[in-house]
Structure 1
Amino acid sequence: MPLYKDEAIVLRTHKLGEADRIITFLTRYHGQVRAVAKGVRKTASKFGSRLEPFMAVEVQFYEGKSLDIVNQVEILSAYGKEIVSDYPSYTAASVMVETAEKLTSELSSPQQYLLLVGAIRSLSNRERNPSSTLDSYLLRALAIAGWAPNFELCVGCQKPGPHNAFLLSAGGMVCEDCRIPGSAIVDSETSALLAALLTGDWGTVSAAGESSRASASGIVAAYSQWHIERGLKSLQHLERE
């Protein structure tokens, strides 16, 4: 069987038989890979905790007919250890990996991989508020997938902003003339915060008030659920700070 090697983030795992697991990876160059890790649930397994969610690893695979087989695993960064010790970070990371799984396929997507690695690293290092890190990740991941929201111009008539309403189905802000029932009213600080989360303007994000952060998080969650098929189950358990 052909061998190949790639960097990866572990997205999720589930049991197979008495001792094996099926591991879902997002790799840098081979897209999403589902592979069997044989004997990984045994106490003496050489893989052990290397194949837990949120771990950054280098993996060598045997190419199989339906599922590949994990041959070797080396840890690149043990992000999972730090993330699982902090519940807000853990729930944010859970939403991230579920999003990555639903937005990617077996096709190569280095941008999605690098975005996820950066967000997981930020959570592990406690660089920023987990909620803000998650909101920024979700907006950027959706943008890479082709659903970039517009927080600057009116999505109806292209009139320059700022505007005070967000229309979920249209994917952006709308002016007074284009606003229709169902549009979410957004104040100027929240609108600026949403744009900052999308572009990575962390100075603006850090300066935002608690009310604007909560409002922005609600819009980001609704926008994500709108575009991601079957929604995000892990959002139900998300703990916001």
Structure 2
Amino acid sequence: MGTLSVDALVIKEVNVGEADKIITLFARNKGKIQASARGARNPRSRLVAATQFLCYSSFVLYKGKELYRVNQCEVIESFYNIRKSIESLSYATYFVDLASEVMKEGYGDNNLLKLLLNTLYVLSNNKKDPMLLKSIYELRLMSLIGYAPNLLACVHCGGSGERMFFNSISGGLVCDNCVEHLNGRSDLAVSEGTLSAMRYILYSKMNRLYSFEVSPRVQKELEAITKDFLLTHIGKEIKSLKYLENIIGKQNY
């Protein structure tokens, strides 16, 4: 029976029997892994803390016939503050679910894991308006999985106009001349401030990703654009997004 030592974020937990649970991990270099944590729901178990949802922990796993089994684990970061607020927990759950949705089985996307961990850290420490945090996360995630929008020029003619629009289906900017010929597709106006923010989100280094602020107008535009772009290319709604919208009282962005 092989042994695997790995740092991983717990992205799901399912109770089994009286004291066991099966956890899903987003593991560095390994991607998504399922593991059985025997006795982890027993308050006296040494596995309790590190196998909780949202805990980033160091694991020693044994390879079983069907699942890995947790042998040892130790908390690296618990993101404890997120659990203090139903709103923060709802944001975190959405961030995790979105990453899980786009993650390829058995493929370790360390850049996606780093984005998720950094986002949870910022959320946990109340360092950014969570709605802005959501837009940043959505756009950068889409870029990481191969859906970076064209923010340099009109995707149809390569030019620019006095007013620019964002078209999710076309995958980027559309000038005011071309927007009239898109047969009723959804087009969202983009101000210069919003365009600058989107370019920063796409091209900045990861450790500088959250080091900017925007005006309320720009934030509102970002919310609409990133959500529309995400749902257009993901192809389905994330259930936890609906729940999040209910929690924060915004049914329409």
**TM-score normalized with structure 1 length:** 0.89
Give the structure 2 partner of residue 230 of structure 1. Answer: 236
Give the structure 2 partner of residue 97 of structure 1. Answer: 96
- C-alpha separation in 2, matches of 1:137 and 1:162: 29
Q: How do 1:104-115 and structure 2 match up within 5 A?
A: 104=103, 105-115=105-115
Give the structure 1 partner of residue 41 of structure 2. Answer: 41
Post-superposition, which runs of at least 4 consecutive aligned residues in structure 1 deviate over 4 A?
160-163, 200-203
Aligned length: 238
Do the aligned residues in 1 keep the contact of 2:161 with 2:177 (CA within 8 Å)? no
**Structure 2 residue 77 is the aligned partner of structure 1 residue 73:** no
Q: How do 1:117-156 and structure 2 match up within 5 A?
A: 117-156=117-156
- C-alpha separation in 1, matches of 2:35 and 2:199: 38
Give the CA RMSD over aligned residues. Answer: 2.2
Q: CA deviation at 1:151?
A: 2.4
Do the aligned residues in 1 keep the contact of 2:50 with 2:57 (CA within 8 Å)? yes
- C-alpha separation in 2, matches of 1:163 and 1:119: 32
Give the structure 1 partner of residue 196 of structure 2. Answer: 192
Do the aligned residues in 1 keep the contact of 2:161 with 2:176 (CA within 8 Å)? no
Q: CA deviation at 1:163?
A: 4.9
- Alpha-carbon distance change, 16 to 114 in structure 1, aligned in 2, over 3 angstroms: same
Determine which of 209, 218, 238 is the counterpart of 2:215.
209
Give the structure 1 partner of residue 224 of structure 2. Answer: 218
Which deviates the most, 140-149 or 49-58?
Answer: 49-58
Q: CA deviation at 1:125?
A: 1.9
**TM-score normalized with structure 2 length:** 0.85
Which deviates the most, 87-96 or 217-226?
Answer: 87-96
Deviations 1:91-139 (A, max 9, x none): 2211110011111121121111111111111111222122222211121
SS at match of 1:14: strand
Do the aligned residues in 2 keep the contact of 1:13 with 1:23 (CA within 8 Å)? yes
- C-alpha separation in 1, matches of 2:83 and 2:234: 25
